[in-house]
Structure 1
Amino acid sequence: MLHAEGPLLTVDIGDRSTETTDIDEINETFIGGRGVATRLAHDRLPFDADPLGAANRLYFATGPMQSSTMSFTGRMNCTGVSPLTGGLLSSNAGGFMSRNFAATGYSAVELVGASDDLVIIHVTDTGVEFEPVPDLAGATVPETLEYIETEHGMESDHVACIGPGGENQVRFASILTSESRAFGRGGLGAVLGSKGVKAITFDGDSSPEIEIPPIQMDVHRDAATSDHIMKRQGTTSVTELANEVSALPTRYFSELEFEGVEGINGDRVEEKKFKKATCSSCAFACKLPTRDEDRGVETEGPEFETVMSFGSNAGVDDIVDVMQSNELCDRYGLDSITCGNVVSAYLASEGEFGNTELIFETVEKIAHREGIGDLLAEGIDRFHRELGVENWTVKGLDFAAHDGRTLNGQGLSYATATRGADHMFTTMYAWEYPLVDGEEAYDPTGLEGKPEMVIEQENARALEDCGIICRFSRSFMTPERLEGLFSTDYETLLDVGSTVVDLERHFNNQRGVDREDDTLPYSLPDFEAALDEYYERRGWTDEGTVPSGRVDAVASAD
């Protein structure tokens, strides 16, 4: 089976020391990316680690496909204990850094400990350098990238960094790479900030020579020649559809349709798009550099989730306002989905939906933990009672778009996902809108037959994150092509994904997560019965815990 190659580099930030460990067996078993990082975290990270304490560890990892030139592979993985959910969480970012990471010769990099002084860590194939950067305290993401390019000649595709949000340990701070691509959900930027790390750079000339089957060229050709609407509108192409089927969260989840959708839909984004953009080696080119000359706003995006969080959910019907909110999140290093939902919760408490000046002001306050921003920086799960708003979270993570009250299978997947209410854990919504061919579609209403499908898609998404392959490859990466790429049968690949989910859940079980956490703030038909079926098919207990024997079997298989 095709897999990542290279050792683990452990960087002790406090001691300013490094260690290299052979992890060939883990790479062979877990392929790379999220799988390898999850196994390492499960084995090496204390179950009771404080997410913002020195005992937490952060793992950057790539997969075998980052040694290819195939489309949909310009991504990499980051894993740690989330300060927002309190559980083990993996986040995935696109852009151009993954190839530079692979060029260091390591398959994974582990950050341990913490620094008393703000530093940049430079990782190369010849060693690691720790650079004190006290003058970068409080610097925005663009300011940090400008410093690194000026002082070291490295462009943004070599850099993963945080802004003020991460330094101030905002629980939903992101890690930015390639200027605007984010390890977004779950607050891993705050983990980097808690370790006193402003940025980490990757450079080298030691990429592993992994032989990728020639089927990669078929995928690349199809991506280049496809006339997909996402090439023009990115994920915002689904905005109108979500609104039409009553699945677009509006005014802090109080409604499911937005009367101002025409002002923030895919057409409006396409009008503001001023050039093509992509991730490393990808011919699909679905990214969205946008600009408004009159307002002087330029950003990348917004994607659909941000259109929801800072648009319909905030009662905003002007795409330029959403663009400005998106740009502020990138500048300060904040997850735009959570930040938009947090701001929308605050607008709900103040009766100020649509107040864009208040929105921009609040984003800045959150990033710097000033005034009300200090409370909002804790996330909805921690402040909802104080503001008197509903707690629209699962396991501490606020909801994405694709509303589960309409798309019921997506609702079930929000409840079961180890990350919480994250749409990318299964992408079940694609089968319920549907965005797939009719014969593959599911009736969005009800949960009959869906637990099995949720499990299959959770496993498939975990597999992609091990590879690492972009979610938007869905129309191109058939099971047959995956078998050809990874040189094994599809069921074996899904088993890898299933094991990753088991390890994540087992880790979180040790931190107290069980059935009581697999809940929703709304009712779905036969939800408890569907949850029972889900656990049974997973081989978990009725209380949603992973039997220790399953984890022991994983260890003995390596």
Structure 2
Amino acid sequence: MRHAHGLLLSIDVGERTATTEPIDDVLTEFIGGRGLNTRLAYDRIPFDVDPLGPENRLYLSTGPMQYSRTSYTGRMAATAVSPLTNGICSSNAGGFLSRNFTGAGYAAVEIVGQSDGLLAIHVREADEDGTPNVTFEPVPDLAEAETSAVSEYLGEEHDLEPENVACIGPAGEHEVRFASIMTSDTRAFGRGGLGAVLGSKGVKALTFAGDADPGIDIEWPGDAGEVHREAATSDHIMKRQGTTSVTELANAVEALPSYYFSERSFEGAEGISGDRVEEKKYKKGTCSQCAFACKLPTRDEATGIETEGPEFETVMAFGSNAGIDDIVDVMGANELCDELGMDTISCGDVVSMYLAAEDEFGNATLVHSLVEQIAYREGVGDKLAEGVHRAHEEFGVDDWTVKGLAFSGHDGRQLNGQGLAFATSNRGADHMYGEFYPYEYPLVGKEDALDPHGLEGKPPKLVAKENRNAVLDSAVVCKFSRGTVTDDRLARLLDTDYDTLLEMGARVVELERAFNNARGFDRGDDSLPYEIDGFEDALSEYYSIRGWNDDGTVPGYEKADVPAVSGD
């Protein structure tokens, strides 16, 4: 089975040390990316760790596909214990960082400890004798600097491009629980608050560069070229509208959360649709080596707002869920989140929660003000920075989260299989973990489409989908490769058979679950704020297929006395 190569670089930011160790056994079993990160986290992070404490560890890694030049491979993975959900959380980001990270020569980088001052950490390929080349630069002048300002500084002082950089904005420094790690200025390790983890460690930026050779001679199968060619020649609507191409479909089938989840369709959907985004797109955008080019550089000439996106989930969170029907207003919120370093889904949902409490739906001026207040923890923003789960009671509204993670779009009350996927996801209410919604809109061919209503027959398909996504996140391959990187192609690219890959994916999911079990998570956390007929039976079937206990725990793992999601 093809896998990433290299050492683990462990950086202690408190001690200002950098050491390496071999991890060949873990790489052989878990490929790279999310799988590698999960195994390392399980072995090296204490189960009772404070997510914002020095003993939490943040892992960054790529996979074997970053050695290739084929499309859909411009991504990498980040993993830590989430300050938002209190469980293990992996997030991945696109852009151009992955090849620069690979060039530094490490299979994975681990950040541990806590600095007494704000740092930029520069990682370069090791010296000839193998000594790590890591520099710790105090950057007090970058305190509360926005993403683009960090890039500008690193460009002027170190001749680096935004694609060499992973950084946090003011939100990460203020430990906003859904702060992102930003790269290439506009790409985010978004879900789970990993930016707050870096902020708690006093790390403003990490940079990677080098020309390290992994020391392996890979003969890629012809599939790599075919994937790249098909990505280049495809006439897919996502090349024009990104994920916002689904907005009006979601609205038509009543799967578009609106007015803080009180409704499932939005009368103003046309104003925030894919057509409106396409009108604002002024050039092509892509990730490293990818010919699919589905990114959305957008500009509004009248206001001067320039951003990348918004994608569908941002349109939902800051558009329909906030009662806002002007794409320019959503673009403005998107730009603020990128500059300040916050996940647009969690931020948009908690802002929408506040609008519901204050009867202020549609107030774009207030929305933009709240985004800034959250990033700096000013005024009401201090409470909203804790996220929906911790704040909802104070504002007298319902808790629209799973495991403390705010909901993305593709409403499970209409797309019932996606509802089950939200509940079982070890990450929380995230659409890409199980990614079941394409079968239920449907966004797939008739032969694969499923009735959106009901759960009969869906747990086995959900298990297989979660396992496959764990493989993609370990390889690392973009999930928008659906239909191009087929099961057979994926197996050939990774030099094994498909069943072996799914078995590896299942181990990743199980390790995540076991880690969360050790922190107190069980069946009670696989719950939804709404009812779906047959849900409990389907959940038990899901556990049975995975070989887990009916209480949602993995056999043989002991639980610690740690609450699943802290309300403090």
TM-score, scaled relative to structure 2: 0.96
Aligned counterpart, 1:543: 551
Give, in whole Å, the separation in 1 of the partners of 2:558 and 2:467: 16
Give the distance between the partners of 1:430 and 1:466, measured in 2 at CA.
21
After TM superposition, the structure 1 = structure 2 runs for residues 447-526 of structure 1, keeping only pairs within 5 Å, are 447-526=455-534
Between the aligned partners of 1:488 and 1:148, the Cα distance in structure 2 is 41
- After TM superposition, list the pairs within 5 Å mapping 1:159-198 onto structure 2: 159-198=165-204
Comparing 274-283 with 199-208, which one deviates more in the overlay? 199-208
1:433 alignment partner AA: Y
SS of residue matched to 2:19: strand
Question: Gaps (5+ residues) in structure 1?
Answer: 552-558
Judge conservation of contact 2:416–2:454 (CA < 8 Å) in 1.
yes
**Could you tell me how far apart the structure 1 residues matched to 2:17 and 2:163 are?**
25
Deviation at 1:475, TM superposition (A): 1.2
User: CA 1:549 to 1:368, structure 2 compared with 1: closer, same or farther past 3 Å?
Assistant: closer
Cα separation, 2, equivalents of 1:535 and 1:207: 43
2-structure distance, mates of 1:68, 1:150: 31
> Residue by residue, what CA displacement relative to the aligned partner does 1:359-395 show, whole Å, maximum 9, x if unpaired?
0000000000000000000000001000001100000
Match of 1:7 in 2: 7
Query: Offset at 1:273?
Result: 0.1
Q: What's the counterpart of residue 556 of structure 1?
A: none
**Equivalent position SS for 1:548:** coil
2:139 to 133, 138, 153: 133
Q: Which amino acid aligns with 1:75?
A: R
Structure 2 vs 1, CA of residues 210 and 400 (structure 1 numbering), >3 Å: closer, same or farther? farther
- Give the distance between the partners of 2:349 and 2:166, measured in 1 at CA: 25
- Tell me by how many angstroms 1:550 deviates: 12
Deviates more, 1:228-237 or 1:482-491: 482-491
The answer as to 2:319 corresponding to 1:311 is yes
Show the 5 A alignment for 1:63-142.
63-126=63-126, 127-142=133-148
- Note if 1:388 corresponds to 2:396: yes
Distance 1:170 1:210, change over 3 A: farther
- Kept after mapping to 1: 8 A contact 2:230/2:484: yes
Secondary structure class of the residue paired with 1:241: helix
1:143 aligns with 2:163: no
**Amino acid aligned to 2:338:** D
The Cα RMSD (Å) is 1.0
Distance 1:11 1:143 in 2: 25
| 1:414 alignment partner in structure 2 | 422
In the TM superposition, 1:128-277 aligns within 5 A as: 128-208=134-214, 209=216, 211=218, 212-277=220-285
Query: d(CA) in 1 for partners of 2:18 and 2:137?
Result: 15
Q: Which has the larger displacement, 481-490 or 172-181?
A: 481-490
Provide the rounded CA distance (Å) in 1 between the counterparts of 2:400 and 2:488. Answer: 39
1:184-215 per-position Cα deviation (integer Å, ceiling 9, x unaligned): 00000000000000000001110424513232
Counterparts of 1:317-466 in structure 2, within 5 Å, are 317-466=325-474
Aligned to 2:59: 59
CA distance in 2, matches of 1:207, 1:543: 47
Deviations 1:11-49 (A, max 9, x none): 010000111010011111100000000000000000011
Give the C-alpha shift of residue 357 in structure 1. Answer: 0.5
Q: CA deviation at 1:549?
A: 7.4
Match of 1:302 among 310, 313, 318: 310
% of aligned pairs identical?
A: 64
1:287 aligned partner: 295
Query: Against the structure 1 CA distance between its residues 210 and 25, is the aligned structure 2 distance closer, same or farther, given a 3 Å change threshold?
Result: farther
Q: Which amino acid aligns with 1:99?
A: R
SS in 2 for 1:160: strand
Q: How does 1:11-26 map to 2 (within 5 A)?
A: 11-26=11-26
Distance 1:477 1:286 in 2: 16
One-letter amino acid of the counterpart of residue 470, structure 1: C
In the alignment, residue 307 of structure 2 is paired with which amino acid? T
Alignment TM-score, normalising by the size of structure 1: 0.98
Conserved in 1, the CA contact under 8 Å of 2:514 and 2:557? no
In the comparison of the two structures, how many residue pairs are matched?
551
Gapped regions of structure 2 (runs ≥ 5): 127-132, 560-568
Note if contact 1:4-1:63 (Cα within 8 Å) is conserved in structure 2: yes
Q: Give the AA of the match of 2:504.
A: V
C-alpha distance in 1, partners of 2:169/2:222? 41
Q: What amino acid maps onto 1:233 in structure 2? A: Q
In structure 1, the residue corresponding to 2:471 is in which secondary structure?
Answer: helix
Report the AA paired with residue 69 of structure 1.
R
